[in-house]
A and B are shown apart, each in its own frame.
Chain A
Amino acid sequence: MIFRACVAVIAVVIALAGQAAAQAPTAASDTSAFVFNTMLFLIAGMVVMFMAAGFCMLEVGLVRSKNAATICLKNIALYSVAGVMFYLVGYDLLYTDHNGFIGSFSIWNADDTNPIEKGHASHSGWYFQMVFVATAASIVSGTLAERIKLFPFLIFVVALTGFIYPIQAGWVWGEGWLDARFDDFAGSTLVHAAGGWAALAGALVLGPRDGKFAGGAVHPLPGSSLPLATLGTFILWLGWFGFNGGSQLALGTIDDAASVAAVFVNTNMAACGGVLAAIILTQLLYKKVDLTIVLNGAIGGLVSITAEPLQPAVWQAILIGAAGGVIVTLAVPLLDRLKIDDVVGAIPAHLFCGIWGTLIVPLTNNAVTFWGQLTGVVVIGVFVFVVSLAVWIALKYSLGVRASAEHQRVGLDKTELGLEAYPEFASA
């Protein structure tokens, strides 16, 4: 008796399930779609904003304690400069009345007059784009840590976030001249490689930290807190779900929701691949696992998947990220050999992996060509590097960019800020 009742219940459940599957889903109302799209921008934007904390902790962990407070100040300052500059010029230069090469020179104005056509709240879209600009600027501060003067650095951030970043990003995301032939989902090139090129130009003009390459040999200057550097990396990893997931730009349909979820998983797995590749490779090369390179491996994996986090199968995402981990592991000592001092490994992780991630997109996305991707990588690289180099050189010969040998010896915390990051501990 009981058995028969069970069979009947199961039959009904199966029938109902079959009916449900056969039904076409009803589309969300315009209002619902508007609300979900807006929520995606706001929540993803909050998570990306927190990447500023991730960069700050990663950088503070990898500098010596005598420069820790200064790097904290630079990080919170650059985030704020990015916000104000993106409001004053950046946003409209990137998106508004774009003529193919440049948008309009005007202050951003929220426009919610046609919400259904726009699909999201105007402020939410601005907010989501603003936090991306800050990310590009954060990349620069890590590379140049421990020897750059505060105000010249912030002036460069004004140029980067107000002009350099918006102009090149507008060529693609502002529907400019590159948009038809070049694809960059969340910014492997437009955010990460762009930040990396600006950092490289800065590192060349600024020179290495005193003592780093003294006597022609490489002298490591170990960071003050590997736990903080690890925390920063985890925060960045978390932030990347907003960075890539939010870059689907919509959450009002089943397709969009499925895409955001796929992007989350691929983003996560690329970072896993980057970490594992760096662990294996550093063990093979140095007979010891190198934690800070493994942390770079996570970032390298994340940057590598950022140009196309939607199309790859999970196993492809792992491999694309793992290649990023290999690139980082090999590029860190390569930069040392070239006497380019990159304190946190931002150039390998953001620039080299950004290029790799962009060029590998055609493997999983048939709508994109390798030559189109290469065009974008080269054009944006040349533009950002050359303009950044010009700004850095102008700063070098006007204000000066480099802290004196004496200031570097004492530490920028005491000489630039007049304080210590850890005043209750005697410094060696």
Chain B
Amino acid sequence: MKYVMAVIKPQKLDDVRDALTKLGVEGMTVSEVKGFGRQKGHSEVYRGAEYQVDFLPKIKIEIAVDAQRATHVVEAIRDAAKTDRIGDGKIFVLDLEQAVRVRTGEVGAAAL
């Protein structure tokens, strides 16, 4: 099993969700997060004074999938979240040791 964690632009969430649904992904966890990467922040003007916004709002998606589907999931996120502008985000893939479905107690791939 793999744990796919992606940080994307907030306005691309619907596109990514649609792409993953088409792949048959049955669940994901979404959080509103803030951070910076190579884009750094950007500047805004408030009452005539410019200031730096260091942490930009992003969406973090977390998905647990079978190891053999992880590549497709990563590709789907990559294609759907892409705007070709700086700040499109990152995708991380981690090995997933265990998964448990709380209601039934199923474990491993059956719990995904």
Residues of A within 8 A of B (CB): 218-220, 222, 282, 285-286, 288, 290, 292-293, 329, 332-333, 336, 345, 428
Among candidates B34, B46, B48, residue contacting A222 with C-beta atoms closer than 8 Å:
B46
Report yes or no: A293 in contact with B48, Cβ–Cβ below 8 A.
Answer: yes
> Distance in Å from the Cβ of A150 to the closest Cβ of chain B?
25
Contact residues on B (Cβ < 8 Å of other chain), bracket: under 10
Q: Are B51 and A285 in contact (CB under 8 A)?
A: no
Query: How distant is B2 from chain A, measured CB to nearest CB, in Å?
Result: 30
Nearest chain-B residue to A296 (Cβ)? B47
Interface SS, B side:
strand
Report the minimal beta-carbon distance from B60 to chain A, rounded to whole angstroms. Answer: 16
Known pairs A218-B49, A220-B46, A220-B51; list 4 more (Cβ under 8 Å): A219-B49, A220-B47, A282-B48, A428-B34
Selected A-B contacts with CB under 8 Å, 11 pairs: A218-B49, A219-B49, A220-B46, A222-B44, A222-B46, A282-B48, A285-B48, A290-B46, A290-B47, A293-B47, A329-B48
Please give me the residue from chain B that is nearest to A428 by CB atom: B34
B102 interface contact, C-beta 8 A: no
Enumerate chain B interface residues (CB-CB to A < 8 A). Answer: 34, 44-49, 51
| CB–CB A292/B47 < 8 A | yes
Lowest 10 CB-CB distances: which A-B pairs, in order?
Answer: A220-B46, A333-B48, A218-B49, A220-B51, A220-B49, A222-B46, A286-B45, A332-B48, A332-B47, A292-B47
- How many angstroms from the CA of A218 to the CA of B45 in the assembled complex? 11
Q: Shortest distance in angstroms between A334's beta carbon and chain B's nearest beta carbon?
A: 9
Q: Roughly how many angstroms separate A345 CA and B48 CA in the complex, as a whole number?
A: 12
Complex CA gap A228/B65 in Å reads 45
Which B residues are CB-close (under 8 A) to A333? 47-49
B residues within 8 A CB of A285? 48
A47 CB to nearest B CB, Å: 28
Interface centre among A220, A286, A428 (most CB of B within 10 A): A220
- Set of chain A residues within 8 Å of B34, measured between Cβ atoms: 428
| Neighbour of B48 across the interface among A219, A286, A428, CB < 8 A | A286
What chain A residues lie within 8 Å of B47 (beta carbons)?
220, 290, 292-293, 332-333, 336, 345
**Complex Cα spacing A222 to B48, Å:** 12
Question: Which residues of B lie under 8 Å from residue A288 when comparing CB positions?
Answer: 45
Q: B67 CB to closest chain A CB, in angstroms?
A: 35
User: Which of A218, A288, A345 counts the most B-chain CB atoms under 10 A from its CB?
Assistant: A218
**Which of B44, B45, B46, B48 has the most CB atoms of chain A within a 10 A radius of its CB?**
B48
Residue of A nearest to B51 (CB): A220
Which residue of chain B lies nearest to A212 when distances are taken between CB atoms in the complex? B49
* A290 close to B48 (CB less than 8 A): yes
Contacting pair A336 B45 (CB below 8 A): no
CA distance A128 to B47 in the complex (A): 34
A329 and B34 CA atoms in complex are apart in Å by 32
The CA of A333 and the CA of B45, in the complex, are separated in Å by 12
Q: Which of chain B's residues have a CB closer than 8 A to the CB of A329?
A: 48
A286 cross-chain contacts in B, Cβ below 8 A: 45, 48
Chain A residues with CB below 8 A from B44, complex form = 222
**In the complex, A293→B49 CA distance in Å?**
11
Q: Residue of B at shortest CB range from A342?
A: B47
Closest CB-CB distance, A135 to chain B, in whole Å? Answer: 23
Minimum CB–CB distance from B23 to chain A (whole Å) comes to 32
Cα-based distance from A286 to B51 in the complex (angstroms): 13
Contact B51 A219 (CB under 8 A): yes
Give bound CA distance, A218 to B46, whole Å: 11
Q: Which of B34, B46, B47, B49 has the most CB of A within 10 A?
A: B47
A345 to B49, CA, bound (A): 13
